[in-house]
Amino acid sequence: MTDNLMQTYRRLPVAFARGQGAYLEDTDGKRYLDALTGLAVCGLGHAHPAVTKAISNQAAALIHTSNLYQIPLQAALAERLCSMSGMDRVFFANSGAEANEAAIKIARLHGRTRNIARPAIIAADQSFHGRTMATLTATGNRKVQAGFEPLLSGFVRAPYNDVDTLTKIGENNADVVAVMIEPVQGESGINIPADDYLQKVRALCDARGWLMILDEVQTGNGRTGKYFAYQHTGILPDVVTTAKGLGNGVPIGACLARGAAADLFQPGHHGSTFGGNLLACAAAHAVLDTLVNEGLFGRAADLGDRILKGLKEGLAGNNGVREIRGKGLMLAVEMNEPCPDLVGKGLDAGILINVANDCVVRLLPPLNLTDAEADELVMKVTALING
Ligand SMILES: *Cc1c(COP(=O)(O)O)cnc(C)c1O
């Protein structure tokens, strides 16, 4: 059935026919509770009526023109994102990797303004920034990079959640122009840094004249309990990228920047044929309307607390569990041993989960679960893990 697809994914033996809220139904009519939402994409759940209506109406009127012309819906979306984030300007792309490519290009232009001929960006171990050549170079995972050498030059590695090492790199490497990090590392298994980590990175970036670039492709759009995860900390980055949850399934990415960093791109520097087209912007407007009108940032925080507490109770006494952690609705149960088989067992049990980094059960459920759905999720996940 997949003979004509390049073999980039080891696909599970299931296909879904429809969805409603937190539930998906497969082609045999079996129902699943979706605790993964297509990897933090469908934060409002499936077939959300506001998104469906917005994209149907927009598709009937006009899907795409070009960035050669004015696109008022795109400009309005940028204004909204800026007022929600404290940023000044937005570049729209179609994915997380593309949003990060824009951020990397902005960092290199920042280097030029400082007369640094070979600007370098510090990126963290265990990070994930995408699969394009620049973003896989930034990614701190050899599995993502292996086979694709030569990687790009101009990247320096540092451990995550370690400001001392960043400080030392600053003392020894005058080519550094930016630090690029995730506020919570998602793909490598929900790694949550110290509460003051982002503040300390901000202070170091200020002292060194580095751009602070936050990759909020996964953490953004309300997932951690604020629109962006850095909004828990009181700091502002210079550049922030997002994508996944922004269109609830319609591809859209965004690179937001503030201050001088927002003015580095000039005509001819960057572009995208599809980026920020009318259909994608209509979806994102509907997502923002819903997140704000339904108070889903606070809801994500409360649901996260509820699920975390439930998991801790339900898994207490399970010796296979190493740690249960979460920030809003980025939740993880780390096991002592690799547990990739839990994904397939979850399918049998009607729950969609993911296993990251071999040992971490990762949950990224919708932000608008009911309490009953959250409790069902806890029950199914604890049953799955307790076997
Ligand atoms: C998923 C992800 C990306 C890549 O996004 P794509 O849309 O797949 O290109 C980049 N950064 C982070 C933190 C992600 O979670």
pLDDT tens-digit map of 211-261: 999 999 999 999 999 999 999 999 999 999 999 999 999 999 999 999 999
Atom of ligand 1 nearest to the CA of 185: 13
Q: How far is the CA of 314 from the centre of ligand 1 (A)?
A: 31
Atom of ligand 1 nearest to the CA of 216: 13
Q: How far is the CA of 386 from the centre of ligand 1 (A)?
A: 31
Say how far apart CA 216 and CA 206 lie, in whole Å.
20
Residue boundaries of the structural domains of the chain = 16-47+295-386, 51-293
Q: Is omega for the bond preceding 193 within 30 degrees of 0, making it cis?
A: no
CATH level 3 topology of 51-293: Aspartate Aminotransferase; domain 2 (3.40.640)
CATH for 16-47+295-386? 3.90.1150.10
Q: From atom 5 of ligand 1, which residue's Cα is the shortest distance away?
A: 96
Q: How far is the CA of 317 from the centre of ligand 1 (A)?
A: 35
**Residues 66/97/229/258 CA torsion (nearest 10 deg):** -50
Residues 6+ positions from 135 with CB-CB distance below 8 Å: 97, 100, 101, 104, 129
Q: How far is the CA of 316 from the centre of ligand 1 (A)?
A: 33
Tens digits of residue pLDDT in 265-322:
999 999 999 999 999 999 999 999 999 999 999 999 999 999 999 999 999 999 999 9
Tens digits of residue pLDDT in 329-376:
999 999 999 999 999 999 999 999 999 999 999 999 999 999 999 999
Which pTM does this prediction carry?
Answer: 0.98
**Residue 41 structure tokens:** 């994409």
Atom of ligand 1 nearest to the CA of 251: 7
